Every structure is written in structure tokens, then in C-alpha cells.
Chains A and B, each alone.
Chain A
Amino acid sequence: SEAKSTRKLGLSSTLSPNSCIEIAADKFRDTVKEKSDGQIEIIRYPSCELFDAKSEIEAVSMGGVDMGVLHGAYVGSRSAILEFISSFGAVGVWESYDHYWRFIDQPEVREFVESEFKQKLNAKVLGIVSYGTSLVGNRVRPIKTVEDYKGIKMRASGKAQATLYKTLGAIPVEISSNEVFMALQRGTIDGAASGPSRFYFSKWYEVTPYITQDYTVPYLSFWLSINLKKWNALSKKEQEILQTTGREIEVWTRNYVEKETETLYEKFRGGLVKEIYFMPQSERDRIRETVEPVMHKLALERIGTEKGAILWELLKKAR
């Protein structure tokens, strides 16, 4: 029998249907309902139904919607510390999923997250949800070495990514997300980075015959978060249910994206693109060595020397 819900919370998300984040948000809804015996009802607003990635952040911090799965890059525009922790701020320096996950699992990092969200977004994080790593798609040539980046026009969103591309000799270009496909197809830009699911579901693979996995991409993570006022109005028991479910979803997405990525790679290998290239460790190290000093400097500049240094140490410690 259905128990009458006593608590209703809206949860907004902004990704394409069937992507990991949307599935995770639905799963969060179902698990919370189950754990609370139907007392807490999460109302889902999927796939930009209410807000886009940018306005969702304003909405959660003002209480225009109770909860959201917030985009790492846009959260980063509110706080350089969060930009760094979401992997964008140190893009190019991460070694692997595991490195990144070890980094965010450090209690010191979580403390930073807690206090930054409270101060800058008036919200609380329930889980850091993985969307998978990005790939670099390219229409002119396969990217196999650092030198292959020279002179190609790359779509960049955000200052950190633009800095990275400039360091590698590529030309960062800003293009609105609707027009990326045509811009790639017609050569307005040469390449773009995004998650494998974006390449697959938006058919970018048709216009980027060369796909590379290297270090130059962020490990995309989203913040499952709740407006602070809403959070404080919950009972201890309700808070515990949301918090533990958030953590469970976090772990679930890490496993899911790895599987999803493998499945999609198989599809790309199966003839969807001319070449999918996994950069060997030696070349990856060259990229990292090239960009690390620049990204380090940028981090200190944007975060401030004291906290920037602490975070950079935590990044190195997690290696």
C-alpha cells in the first residue's frame, strides 16, 4: 500500500535522457522513496525541463527548486575552489578516474566542498555524481602527440580549458552548444571535447572521424545538492536518508560510467569513427608535464595562494 508522502522535494537535472546523470537522479528518487517508506517524495524535473545548467545553480541557491544535479563547470564560475575540485580547474593534470576519485574522497576536500557550497551557493552537497571522462573528437587528424594539438581550433568552455589548449598550441574557440555539431561538420572548429555519451547520442562521431582519449579533458562530475534552507527544515532522520542515498548514488555512478564508457568505446571501435586512439602513458606524461606548471599557476591565481597550495598538494597526494 502507498503511504501518503509528508515531504515533497523537487529535483532538477539538465542532461539528455538516458544519460548517466538522469538515470542516477531517478534512482535517487526511487531509493529515497523506498528508504522512507514513501514519506519523502522526490519530484523529478529531468533534462532541462525547468532550468538549463546555468540557471539551475541560481535556482537551487535561491530555492526556486529544492534540489538539483549541478554542472561542475557552472558551479566553478561561482567558486574557483569548486572549479578545481570538479576537475575543471586542474584539467590536463589528472592521471585517471582513480586518481580523481581518490582526490575527491579525501576528507579535507569534502570539507572544502561543504563550506564552499554553504557560502557560495547556499546549498549542501549530497553526492558528487560522475558523468564519465571526456573524449577529444577531431575532424582534421588523429591526436597522437602533444604536437598534434598545434594550430587546431578547439571548442573551449571556461577559462581553464582555454588556458590548457593555448598551452598545447591549439586555438580555443567559443561556440554555443546547439551549433557544435554543425561547426564541427563545416570546419568552423576542428575539434571538441565531451563525454562519450554526447559523442554517441548527439552523433558527433559522424563529424569527428578521429577520437582520442588523453589527459586534456575533465573528469566530469556533477553536484547532487539541496538548498540549505530546505535542508535545515528536514528532520534528522530525513537528512540521514538523503545523505546516505546521495553517497550510494555517488558510488553507483562511478561503476556505471566505467561500464557505459566501455560499451560506447566498443561502438566507436565497431566502425562509427575512423580511429579511436588511446594515448600511451609516455605521451600522456608529456602532455601533463607541459600543462602542469601553467595549470598550477592558474589555480594559485584563481583560488589564492594559500588554499590553492593546499588543494594542489591534495591533488598530488592522491596520485
Chain B
Amino acid sequence: MLQQMTSGNNVKRLVDFIPKLIDHSSIASGTLAGLAMFMVSVINTYEVIMRRFFFKPTTWVFTASLFVLMWFALMSTPMVIKNDRQIVADFLTSRLSKEKRSMLKILANFLSIVFFLIIGYYGSLMCIEAYQNNHMTLGLFDYPSWILYICFPLTTALILLQLFRSTVTEIRNKMGAHTDINPEMQFRQSDKKNITKGWLSENLLSTIFFLLPVLLGVYLFHTKPLAGLIVMALSLLLGGTPAAFSLGLTAIVGLFITQQGFSSLQIVPVIIDKTFDSFVLLAIPMFIMGGVILSKCGIGMRIYDLASKWLGSLPGGLAMATIIACAIVSAMIGVSTAVAAAIGLIAIPQLLTHGYKKGVAYGSVAGGALGILIPPSAGLIVYGYLTNSSVGLLFASAFIPAAMLVFFFLIYVFLISLKNDKIERLNYSWAEKFIALKKSILGLLAPVIVLGGIYSGLFTPTEAAGVLVIYSMIVALIYKEMDFKKFINICRESATLGSAVMMIMMGAMILTNLVALLRVPRVISEWLIHSGISNLSTIIALMFMYVILGMFLDGLAITVLTVPVLYPIMPILGLDVISFGVALCIFVEMALITPPIGLNLFIIKAITGDEITPIARGNIPFAVIMFVAAVILLLFPQIAHWLPKILGIM
């Protein structure tokens, strides 16, 4: 009896211990991934120094960096899953009851498990094959491929455990919630039945609503593959499955049905390897890390302080200062949401206390945050990757259009402020102005170093990202804003943000492979040629498609879904690849501020606690200005070409 109880306790202890162990492993794995990416920044900076100043470039930095990228993406994923930080299109699911939502989450987790089982299984096969046949990598520093591919079995094991663990928790909560809410009714048989019935029907309903369109997609794959692809991908996305797994899973089902069953799934790890074997893509996690470091050491405050002291005395000066501050910080950070967060926290209260209307305050921050348009830009890196264009060229091309857009914003807030007589103008002494400049000079130097380094030939855009991380680190140390705990947090945050992007790239590339196998771009281009629709109407249709997609979907998802299809038909449409990429980034910026789903809107909501409606309303003029700027750019691509031509890189 006693023995039984102890063993019972042991079992209970074990049951409690295992989930904790999984959680700790996931966090450890993610932290390690972030640390590894920091090391990649260190070695790339080392490479730049050795090449430029000692004429002794290494043979191993390139290889080692790419080796880390794939491990980084997959090793961070368990932590991303644990913390529920995947990129999800949740504007439909967020309106559902808690009960329905958690049921959908269980279903999404189940599908994610299937996805990673496939990756883990076929990835392990690839690893074993590489081991048995002594496959080597290609490069100045070559090593056996299995050392890279072994990340498939190792990381998917932890990912699967974490997914399993989070599913079990979700199910247990569900059961718990259902019994806890109505404890006193439990004894009454008939009521219990009713509750169970309600509970069952809620879950059954959401299951059916989720699975029906998904199954319709599966069915359509047999007859109309393209329709199947669209229906399945959209229903998974809108059903709350993380974007990365929605795309990847659709691709896997499509490959299975339209190609050769299980044997066509062998290609999945090959495509993942191909995705992460990219020195260009490597720039994204490092630019993200640099941005995280800079924003954690209060760079937003310093830059805003500078801009407001210098511009505060003009009509609408504080709003203009906000826009300028956003633009400057955008030149350090590769994603717009981080810019909005860094500036919004300081600027919005200031704007409101000095008499600005809510709309202008919200719009200047959310609209003004042009992190994706102003280089360095995660969006342009992804675009360069998808279209094989030089990232350096894309960065240079984005400058003038971005300046034009910022200028339009300034005119808008200036004009609208003329009508508002409540606005206070702020006058500062020259001493105060220069103190603000001194305090922010290290931050202002970051974009100068990054872009100056790229265009003087000191380093490539990817190496620039590494240099930015090291520079930001030095700035943080000088500002005394860094300690060990903060550093570990930065590593974790960067790993979370970076790997969420990398996972989407992975899912999208598998889907792109299916799209190519189904010859979708070719079908569309042939249809376009024969339909007699003019290029102009097609381009106009495209622009509206981007506006509508942008209302609901994440900018990265829009880019990876449309560019692989559009890129091959750009010559037919007479679109210039480079200026179109910049225009696309404007649409992505616009997606961030258009309702119902706009991440920058949500950030303002989180900062101010205001309703989403006034926030969205304040941003509409900014969205309209962006649309106009994108149209101007598509009509006059020369605007984008001007600077690259001056620099001689085009």
C-alpha cells in the first residue's frame, strides 16, 4: 500500500517534471540559437577586418555562418512554440469564444505535429544518406554534410515534444475549464448532460468549420490543384494555424497528391536546406538582433528627444519631429513594428499633452515607422532573396522613394496642424539642442556605418548586419545599458523574432516549389498574354490586390506568397524588378496600418490602451499617402533608379 503510494507520487512527480524539462530545454535551445547568431555577427565583423585591413580573409566564416543559420532557425522554434510567438493571422479566430479558440489551437498543433514529423523523418533519411555516402559541402572550407543535416532529427525531436506538451496542456485546460466553471451543477445529471452537449457542440462546430474548408482544399488538389492550393492555404491561415506551417503543410499535401505520393516528400528537407543555404537571408536575424539591442538601450528616446528639440518650434513641429525620429530609427532597424514601439512609447504622450489630436499622434507613429522601407530592410532582403537581386542595389533604390514618402508625411502633418490652434510650440535653447545631439550621436552613427560600409565596399549587406550587431553592442556598453541578464534576453528576443521569419521563409519555399511544379506562373502569364488584358489594368488590379491582402495578412506572408508567382511574369507586364520591390515594401508598410489587421495599429493600442477604431482612423491618411507614393513609383521607376545610378551600381 505504502509502496503503491510512493510509486504513485513518483509518477505524479514525473508527470510534473517532464513538461518542465521540455520547457527548459526549449528555452535553452532558443537561447543557444540567439548566442550562436551573436557569434556569427562577431565572426563576420572579424572577417571584414581581416579582409580589409590585413588582406587575409578567412576561409571558414562564410561556411560557419551558413551552418549556424539552419541550426538557428530550427533550434529557436521550440522556444517560439512554447511562448506562443509564431506569426498567426488571427483576425477571425480572435473573435471566437475561448472554447472554440482553444479547440482550433489543438487542431493547429496537431497539423504542426504532422508537418514536423514529415520534416524530421525525411530530414533524418537525408542525414543518413549523406553520412553513408560521405557527401561533402561545397566551399572554401568543406565538411561532411551530415553534420549540418543532423539538425533535422535533433531539432524536430524537441519541436515535436514542445508541440505535444502544449497540446496536452491545452486539452487539460479545456477539461479543467469545463468542470471548474460550474462545479455546483456537476451533481445534477441532466444539467451535466446539457453542459457536455454544449461543450461538445462548441468543439464539434469549430472542428467542422476548420476542417471542412481544409478538406475541400485537399479534394480540390485532385482536380484543380491551384484552387486546392489557395483554398487549403487560406483556410489553414485563417483558421489560426501559424503562417509558416499553413504554407508548408499545404505544400506537403499538394506534393503528395499532385506528384508521386510519399516519394515526392523526400524533397522537403532538400528545399529547407536550400532555403537556409543563403548568405543573403542570414542578414535578417542579424539586422533584427542589432535593432533589438538598439531599442533596448533606449535609442528611441534619444532620437525622439533630438528631433523634438530641433523641430519643436515649427507649426506641427512635434508631429514632424515624430516622423523624422521614426525615419531615423527606421534606418537602424529592419522591421517597422519595432520602430513604432520604440518611438510610440515616448512620442504619443508628448504629442497628446502638447495639444495634438489623437489621429495625428497615432498616425505619425504607426505610419511614420518605415522600418521595412528604409534600409536596412528585412522586406527588401526577402525580396532580393526571392528574385535573385542584389540587396545592396535594392537598399540604394529604396532611399529616394522613402525620402519622398517621409516628405509627403511631413507636408500632411504640417498642413493639418495649421488648422489646430491648441498646439503648443516648443522652443529650446541651442545648448539644449546640442546636448540632445550629443546624446544621440552614437545612435545616428549606426545607419551611417551600415550604409557607408556597404556603399564604400568595406562589407557586403550581410556583413553589414553583423557589424551593426557589434556596433550596437558597443553603444549599449557605452550608454551603460547592458548587463548579462539583458544580453541573454536580447539573444532570446532576437532568436524568437528571427526564427519566426525564417520559419515563414521555409514554409513559403516548400510551397513555391509546388507552385513551380504546377507551373502556375506559366499558366498565369499565358493567360495574361492571350486574354488581351492590358498591362496597365493588370498592374492596377495587382495594386488593389496588395491593398486588400494587406488588410488581412502579414507583410512577409504577402511577399512570400506573391513574389514567386509574379517574378517570372514581371517582364511580360513590363514591370521593373527593382522599383517593384520598393513599391511592394510600401504596400507592406501600408498593410501594417490598415484595419482590421495591422501590427502597428496593435502596437499603438498596446501603448495607449485606446480603441482600435480611432487608431485606425488616424492612420487612414497615412495609408492613402503610401498608396499614392506606390502609384507614383510604379509610374516613374526612375525615382528608385536615381541613387543606384549615381552610386554606379546599376
Contact = CB atoms under 8 A, between A and B. Distances in A.
B140 A55 contact: no
Interface string B153-181: 00000000000000000000000000000
A51 interface: yes
Nearest to A121: B133
26 contacts: A48-B388, A49-B516, A50-B516, A51-B274, A51-B513, A52-B274, A54-B277, A62-B270, A64-B267, A77-B137, A153-B57, A157-B139, A171-B55, A171-B57, A173-B57, A174-B59, A176-B462, A179-B391, A179-B462, A181-B649, A182-B460, A183-B460, A185-B457, A186-B454, A188-B457, A188-B460
Contact of B390 (A171, A182, A187): A182
Contact of A173 (B51, B273, B274, B457): B51
A45 B516 contact: yes
B649 A178 contact: no
Nearest to A47: B568
B392 A182 contact: yes
**Most central of B260, B267, B455 by chain A CB within 10 Å:** B267
A175 interface: yes
A78 B135 contact: yes
A77 B136 contact: yes
Contacts of A293: none
B461 A179 contact: yes
Interface in A7-65: 10, 45, 48-52, 54-55, 58-59, 62-64
Given A50-B516, A181-B649, A183-B460, A151 B139 contact: no
Contact of A50 (B126, B263, B462, B517): B517
Nearest to B457: A186
B577 to A, nearest CB: 13
Interface residues of A, number: 43
Contacts of B568: 49
B140 A159 contact: yes
Interface string B253-274: 0000000100110110011011
A119 B134 CA distance: 11
Interface in B367-419: 384, 388-393
B142 A159 contact: yes
B266 A156 contact: no
Most chain A CB atoms below 10 A, which of B59, B384, B460, B649 = B460
A55 B270 CA distance: 6
A176 B280 contact: yes
A74 interface: yes
A63 B263 contact: yes
Contacts of B260: 63
B280 A185 contact: no
Nearest to B277: A54
Contact of A59 (B62, B142, B270, B278): B270
A162 interface: yes
A88 to B, nearest CB: 10
B574 interface: no
A48 B388 CA distance: 10
A183 B517 CA distance: 34
Interface of B: 51, 55-57, 59, 62-63, 126, 133, 135-140, 142, 260, 263-264, 266-267, 270-271, 273-274, 277-280, 384, 388-393, 454-462, 513, 516-517, 568, 648-649
B59 A172 contact: yes
Contacts of A304: none
Nearest to A64: B267
Nearest to A119: B133
Contacts of A187: 457
Task: Give the most central of B62, B133, B389: most A CB within 10 Å.
Answer: B133
A137 B184 CA distance: 84
Nearest to A73: B138
Listed from nearest, the 6 A-B pairs whose CB atoms lie closest are A186-B457, A64-B267, A77-B138, A176-B279, A55-B274, A174-B62
Contact of B267 (A62, A159, A175, A178): A62
A76 interface: yes
A84 B460 CA distance: 32
B51 A181 contact: no
Given A55-B271, A64-B267, A188 B458 contact: yes
A186 B516 contact: no
Interface string A201-220: 00000000000000000000
B460 to A, nearest CB: 5
A120 interface: yes
A280 interface: no
Contacts of B458: 188
A179 B649 CA distance: 11
Contacts of A176: 278-280, 460, 462
Contacts of B517: 10, 45, 50
B375 to A, nearest CB: 13
B649 A62 contact: no
Interface string A76-115: 1110000000000000000000000000000000000000
> Which one of A172, A175, A185 has the greatest number of beta carbons of chain B within 10 Å?
A185
